[in-house]
Amino acid sequence: MNDLRNALALGREIAARRLTAVKVLEAALARIEARDNEILAWKLINPEQALAEAMARDAEEPKGPLHGVPVGVKDVLDTSDIATGYGSPIYEGALPSADAAAVANLRAAGMVVLGKTVTTEFAMRFPGATRNPNNLAHTPGGSSSGSAAAVADGHVPLAIGTQTSGSVIRPASYCGVIGFKPSWGAVPRAGLKMLAESLDTIGTMANSAADAEAFALALAGRPINPTAPLDQPPRIGICRTVAWPNIEHAGSRGLEEAATCAAAAGAKVVDVQLPEPFATALEAHDVVMTYESRGMLAFECDRHWDRLSPALQDVMKRGMNHDWPAYQSALANRRACRKSLADAFQDVDILLTPSALGEAPKGLSFTGSPDFNRIWTFVGAPSITVPGLMGPNGLPVGTQLIAPLGQDSRVIGAAGWLQNLLQA
């Protein structure tokens, strides 16, 4: 067995006893053995422990559609049986006392934790060692770099990501997989090393919209009943946002290509402008993120300042420069954006916007700009990047879909429809 890309299909085969969780895990470990010395997607793996967990899954009745499926856990979520370092030397080798709530939920759904995937330092800027599977000279994005690369290279069908700015959507776009950021608060965050309480969202990396949603539901502890792709074309609003002046040719071309394909398939495609409060959303997001992250990392700043990277120190200093009134003003801007977001959906079902500026940048020191993701993280709206397009350098270019806050199934259905179209 060498296809580890379809999680729900693997779950069905395991439930029917045509496949075992142990065989699936052995195939995953073999793929990692063959490839991860180049990709470097994994921080820690304990094969013996994972095999014991898979054997236990095979010895019991299936607990759900993803029973026995192996997954990667981003190394900012606590695992009681695997060291959790948060991408920082401060916590290297530290073993948490409990699983994060999302990890406990996936185990309760019968899934197998294969190991911890590489993250940037505290899910911020300073990159980890992971490389883009499509071209090792290019970044996989951040901060969910290991999770995106592990799924893209076929190590596991599913992996957890988190997003404070663009850390699910952008690496998924760069690596060529589905990246799903649910509505803010949809997945419990207890046991996540949070960077910004008002922004952080746990999301999923997968190869299909259905798998991404099923995994998100498992992480939330909810019944797994994936949304089917739309059976008729949606009304699509092309939304370029205030980040558009920085778009690269590959990004603008990808957006146009996706819109053209959708229109040719019968979708109504129109331009949509975001309401006035969104004009300052990028600046407000930065204030909220840096102000809150300085508070969330207060212990590390106080006790271990010299062990923080210069890049993270810079973010902490920016947070220190924002006072309480500036923070409250930024939160007021978010409330105004959330209230007015419904206006953007008056005549459309879904928004279509770039997932990133373009292809993954060359080099490993810069994980790419999150500017096409930050607005949607700021308001908490569900977003998803759909693969299927390629840029001029032969690297993936994702297309991002947005739905209103709380309408996660809407964005999943549209993503399934678009993915079938782009990959036909």
Q: How many alpha carbons fall within 13 Å on the CB side of residue 124?
A: 25
* pLDDT tens digits for range 108-164: 999 999 999 999 999 998 999 999 999 999 999 999 999 999 999 999 999 999 999
Residue 240's closest CA among 402, 397, 392? 402
* pLDDT tens digits for range 181-192: 999 999 999 999
Measured between alpha carbons, how far is 9 from 329 in angstroms, rounded to an integer? Answer: 48
- Which string of DSSP letters, residue by residue, matches 80-123? TTB---TTSGGGTT---SS--HHHHHHHHTT-EEEEEEP--GGG
409 is catalytic: no
DSSP code of residue 141: -
pLDDT of residue 125: 87
Task: Mention every residue, 6+ apart, whose C-beta is less than 8 A from residue 335.
Answer: none
Contact 198, 285 (CB under 8 A): no
Task: Mention every residue, 6+ apart, whose C-beta is less than 8 A from residue 244.
Answer: none
Q: Hey, which residues does 352 pair with through a beta bridge?
A: 238, 401
pTM of the model: 0.98
Active-site option among 88, 143, 147, 369: 143
Measured between alpha carbons, how far is 262 from 232 in angstroms, rounded to an integer? Answer: 11
Contact 214, 7 (CB under 8 A): yes
63 is catalytic: no
* pLDDT tens digits for range 312-354: 999 999 999 999 999 999 999 999 999 999 999 999 999 999 9
- Sheet bearing 70-74, strands edge to edge: 42-45, 112-117, 70-74, 158-163, 201-206, 178-181, 383-390, 396-402, 350-354, 235-238, 268-271
Measured between alpha carbons, how far is 269 from 117 in angstroms, rounded to an integer? Answer: 38
Measured between alpha carbons, how far is 178 from 207 in angstroms, rounded to an integer? Answer: 5
Phi, psi of 362 (to 5 degrees): -75, 145
* pLDDT tens digits for range 381-396: 999 999 999 999 999 9
Confidence of residue 49 (pLDDT cuts 50, 70, 90): very high
Confidence of residue 3 (pLDDT cuts 50, 70, 90): confident
Residue 375's closest CA among 124, 199, 178? 199
Measured between alpha carbons, how far is 391 from 132 in angstroms, rounded to an integer? Answer: 15
Is the predicted pLDDT of residue 95 greater than 70, yes or no? yes
Is the predicted pLDDT of residue 2 greater than 80, yes or no? no
167 is catalytic: yes
* pLDDT tens digits for range 269-320: 999 999 999 999 999 999 999 999 999 999 999 999 999 999 999 999 999 9
pLDDT of residue 1: 58
pLDDT of residue 133: 98
Q: Hey, which residues does 45 pair with through a beta bridge?
A: 115
Active-site option among 145, 147, 165, 167: 167
Q: Average pLDDT, whole number, for the chain? A: 97
Question: Which CATH code, of 3.65.10.10, 3.30.420.40, 3.30.9.10, 3.90.1300.10, is assigned to 1-424?
Answer: 3.90.1300.10
